[in-house]
Amino acid sequence: MHGRKAKAVLLLLAGALVLGLLALAWMLGPGASQAQQGAMHNCPQPSKWAIAVWDGDDGTDAEQAFATCGAVPVAAAYYIDPDTQVWSRWFAGRPEMSNLTLLNNMQGLLVFGQITEGTPTATPTAPDQITLEGEAGTGDGQVKSRTAASGQETVLLHDGESQALSFQLPAAARYSLTVRYSNDNYGPLETVSVSVDDAIVGQFEAQDTGDFGAGWNVFESSGPIGSVDLQAGTHEVTVSVAGGDGYGVEIDVVTLDCVG
């Protein structure tokens, strides 16, 4: 029973090979063997079977003929003798298992393209630290030049004003937020609130960093004001100021440090 099934499969393969050869012969035309000597036609795709035809000299070494496939090496090939109905085989790099050694012009074969491993895709990782310059955002405020600032510029925010800072995150991570600021203050302290994607992360009182104008170029860190879990994608940090002495707070940098 198993022998009859195997024979039927081989006959189907032989039939498919014959039909494929007829189609290829029609496409190549009667003058193809003279026009394009030494080429394997209809080479396989990686990890795929194909019905190919050798267009070259009789008695060509099989390995040499299969090498003309170039970009996709032939890993295995089978040929069925039309008279004896006996299959011959060729395996790349396995001469002890191969008995198909020579090919003749216009000989048709069932060939298999070498299995190719895909290029490993690097897994995106979240950066250890993200630095957002206050003056690079959008919203309210005035850009000020400060020699001691991170980018030698800040954004001045008064009571009721805010600045939005956008960034891209390649992978999910948890971040702690810190604000670097200056505050030449003459009275009540301003409250600075920080939100990410419209959700409040934390707030702090902006301490007085100096007087008589000199304090604007002296910068303090808020310290960690809160943390947030972020997914990969686009995010927006919003810094808002409320209250104070009416002169506002200058925002230099918002820093996000990865904590997990």
pLDDT digits (tens, 9 = 90+) for 130-173: 999 999 999 999 999 999 999 999 999 999 999 999 999 999 99
pLDDT number for residue 65: 94
pLDDT in tens, 35-53: 345 899 999 999 999 999 9
CB contact at 8 A, 167 and 205: no
Q: What is the mean pLDDT of residues 47-64?
A: 93
Specify the CATH class of 129-258 in words: mainly beta
Q: CA–CA separation, 185 vs 234, rounded Å?
A: 35
Give the global pTM: 0.57
Residue 117, number of CB atoms within 10 A of its CB: 6
CB 118 within 8 A of CB 65: no
Q: What is the pLDDT of residues 188-234, one digit of tens each?
A: 999 999 999 999 999 999 999 999 999 999 999 999 999 999 999 99
Residue matched to tokens 């299969």:
66
Instruction: For residue range 73-122, list pLDDT tens digits in order.
Output: 999 999 999 999 999 999 999 999 999 999 999 999 999 999 877 656 78
Q: For 50, phi and psi rounded to 5 degrees?
A: -150, 155
Q: Where in the chain is the domain with CATH 2.60.120.260?
A: 129-258
